[in-house]
């Protein structure tokens, strides 16, 4: 399972370990080669980009992830307003040159597939569905826990404070 925890203050912590990251990246590579998609992103629901494949050099994928997450969250609210009890599972944006296909991967993650209009949507749908199953399996495997003290130890915040002073001077 992906390591998730609710901190005392109520905020949510999600940790993806090395093995999971490798697995996710491999699935994205396979999906990219099978679909000829221009770009494939895997991100968490708060909008943080985790992994990307394809031709993403010309694309600001950090911003794309943030926008896609908000897109998801906004349509979840829309779902409620129109009386849909579950969240919408996928979003599709159709352009003249490129299309974007977004689909959730469990509750915490989502996948963005950007592809040229000459690639058929059916192909994208079939391979994306399979990729999502693979991703879910990877994310659900039992994993060794990463301890909090290994993430942020006692002098982390003072060192961060110094780094912030340096950056913001």
Partner 1 sequence: MFINWALQEINLKIVYYGPGMSGKTTNLEYVHSKLDPSLTGELVSLKTKEDRTIFFDFMQIEVGKIKGKKPKFNLYTVPGQVYYASSRKVILNGVDGIVFVADSQPHRMEANIETLLDLENNLKQDGHSLETFPWVVQYNKRDLPGVDSIETLQKKLNFFGVPYFEGVAVRGDGVFNTLKAIINNVVQNVQNQL
- Does position 50 bind partner 1 by CB under 8 A? yes
What's the half-sphere exposure (Cβ side, CA atoms, 13 Å) at 70? 6
- Does position 12 bind partner 1 by CB under 8 A? yes
Tell me how far apart the alpha carbons of residues 142 and 123 are, in angstroms, rounded to a whole number: 32
- Rank residues 126 and 164 by Cβ distance to partner 1 and give the closer one: 164
Tell me how far apart the alpha carbons of residues 120 and 15 are, in angstroms, rounded to a whole number: 35
Among 1, 33, 36, 48, binds partner 1 (CB under 8 A): 48
CB of 117 to partner 1, least distance (A): 25
Q: Name the segment binding partner 1 (CB under 8 A); options: 14-22, 29-37, 92-100, 118-126.
A: 14-22
Burial of 20 (0-12, 13-18, 19+ CB in 10 A): buried
- Does position 93 bind partner 1 by CB under 8 A? no
- Rank residues 35 and 51 by Cβ distance to partner 1 and give the closer one: 51
- Does position 44 bind partner 1 by CB under 8 A? yes
Q: How far is Cα of residue 14 from the mean position of the Cα atoms in its chain?
A: 12
Nearest one of 139, 106, 135 to 16, comparing CA atoms: 139
Residues in 135-164 at the binding interface with partner 1, rule: CB under 8 A: 146, 148-149, 151-157, 159-161, 163-164
């Amino acid at each position: 399972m992906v390591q998730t925890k609710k901190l005392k203050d109520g905020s949510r912590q999600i940790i993806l370990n090395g093995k999971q990251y490798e697995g996710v990246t491999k699935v994205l590579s396979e999906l990219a080669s099978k679909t000829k998609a221009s770009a494939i992103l895997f991100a968490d629901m708060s909008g943080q980009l985790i992994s990307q494949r394809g031709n993403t050099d010309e694309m600001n994928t950090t911003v794309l992830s943030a926008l896609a997450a908000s897109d998801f969250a906004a349509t979840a609210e829309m779902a409620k307003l129109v009386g849909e009890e579950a969240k919408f599972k996928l979003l599709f944006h159709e352009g003249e040159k490129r299309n974007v296909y977004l689909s959730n991967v469990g509750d915490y993650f989502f996948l963005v597939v950007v592809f040229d209009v000459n690639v058929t949507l059916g192909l994208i749908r079939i391979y994306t569905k399979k990729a999502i199953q693979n991703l879910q399996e990877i994310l659900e495997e039992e994993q060794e826990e990463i301890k909090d003290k290994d993430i942020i130890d006692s002098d982390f915040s003072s060192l961060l404070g110094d780094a912030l002073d340096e950056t913001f001077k």
